[in-house]
Amino acid sequence: MKMKLSVLHAAVLAATLALPASSVQAGLPFLNSDKQEMPTLAPMLDKATPAVVHISVEGSREVRQRIPDALRHFFGQRGQGELRQERPFSGLGSGVIIDAAKGYIVTNNHVVQDADKIQIKLKDGRSFSAKKLGADPQSDIALLQIEAKNLIQIPLADSDKLRVGDYAIAVGNPFGLEQTVTSGIVSSLGRSGLNMDGFEDFIQTDAAINSGNSGGALLNLRGELIGINTAILGPSGGNVGIGFSIPSNMMKNLVDQILEFGEIRRGSLGVRGGDVNSELTEAMNLTVSRGAFVNEVLPDTAAAEAGLKAGDVIISMNENRIHSFNELRAKIGTLGAGRKAELGIIRDGKERKVSVTLGRAETARVEANELHPMLRGATLNNSDKGVEITELASGSIAEQVGLRQGDIITGVNRQRVTNLAELRRILEGRQGVAALYIRRGNDDLYILLR
């Protein structure tokens, strides 16, 4: 006796048993529970789910409340018109182990933002405190690290090879329900527009994603990581079949920058433009209906040096199709400064290739309390002389220990510091006093962190 399988079941079974999908779908003996297993994703998930972790956070955030003019003098706000208070918060989310040997875990920035305490719980029940190595709020990626043995990591897939219709499995901890698995397909690629100031190139999926899934894994049928689940679109805050994930390639580019430099070194092309649409196609007599139209090439930029011109249409980057200007912006911004890219363009109705070395966009900021609790309230940037304190909150811990805006950290405990990555490596795990060597104007001084 034979049974006919659906296309979905045939594909799943073929992936599980390493058989051609056509032969599986054509028919197979009726599966007897005593002799043969039913089609299942369980073997793949047995290997992948131990690499998906539960994250719980605690911290405090500044809450601002407007003060009526009649009451302002009672609060001593000196005309600021608002009352600022620190209020505690807690939250839950998910994360993915990407390097078992070094204990690296990727999650969303919004899961761990402002957290003073980050706790990681593994599938086997073990629990560890985590430290944040770095984050990129504009891409919503954060990198954590734990010290643990016998971890399991998820291998990365090439997300640039995804196609609409590929199967997708989401693993995370929605509403605190640990190790929840849902399945669906890749519904669309290159989605953007959720946060206009951010860098978005989302995978859209109908695999159920809910609150608490943030930072969890989106897998293919081989158990490889194709994305980090980050957002949903739903009128009630629950799943309606429209979820978004950060592609694994974008995540890896950002993680590599955090590990190498201690910050995100945003790539910059140096063009202004917009999406190709039907009106533009007709007006400019273009041969394509999708892409990024270049309105202006800014002088002294990577684009100008590479020979891009106003009127060019960018249709691909490193052999991957570009559908919109936002997609181009996200890929350029997250690839990183100094990286090379090959752009496919259309100029005067002809396709050609242009090689470009990306410039560096405005330097990303790092909140100093990510490096040491006594630096809370300071914002750090790399400079050509060391690590500069570019912002300092009035009354903050960092100000109280003696730091000032404009100070440049050039060393710690007689070790030279030239960038944030070096400062992080020296401070992480350090016990006792850390002596910061500071350059302030023409003076040099030490400031002690206890």
Q: Rounded to two decimals, what is the model's pTM?
A: 0.71
Looking at residue 378, its pLDDT comes to 87
Mean pLDDT (10-residue bins), the chain, 450 residues: 48 51 46 64 94 93 63 50 72 95 96 92 95 90 95 95 95 88 93 72 91 92 95 72 92 93 87 87 82 91 93 92 90 91 91 92 64 82 83 86 91 83 75 84 86
Looking at residue 89, its pLDDT comes to 87
Looking at residue 200, its pLDDT comes to 84
H or E element at residue 219: strand 217-219
Looking at residue 297, its pLDDT comes to 92
Structure-token match 């609060």, residue found: 75
Which residues are the active-site residues?
110, 140, 214
Looking at residue 373, its pLDDT comes to 79
Burial class (CB in 10 A: 0-12, 13-18, 19+), 431: exposed
Structure-token match 């809370």, residue found: 376
Looking at residue 71, its pLDDT comes to 55
What residue ranges in 290-441 does DSSP mark as E strands? 292-297, 313-317, 320-321, 340-347, 350-357, 359-360, 366-367, 378-382, 387-392, 408-412, 415-416, 434-440
Looking at residue 77, its pLDDT comes to 47
Looking at residue 1, its pLDDT comes to 41
The distance of Cα 113 from the centroid of its chain, to the nearest Å, equals 13
Looking at residue 362, its pLDDT comes to 61
Query: Beta-carbon neighbour count of residue 6 at 10 Å?
Result: 10
Looking at residue 306, its pLDDT comes to 94
What whole-number distance in Å separates Cα of residue 22 and Cα of residue 342? 38
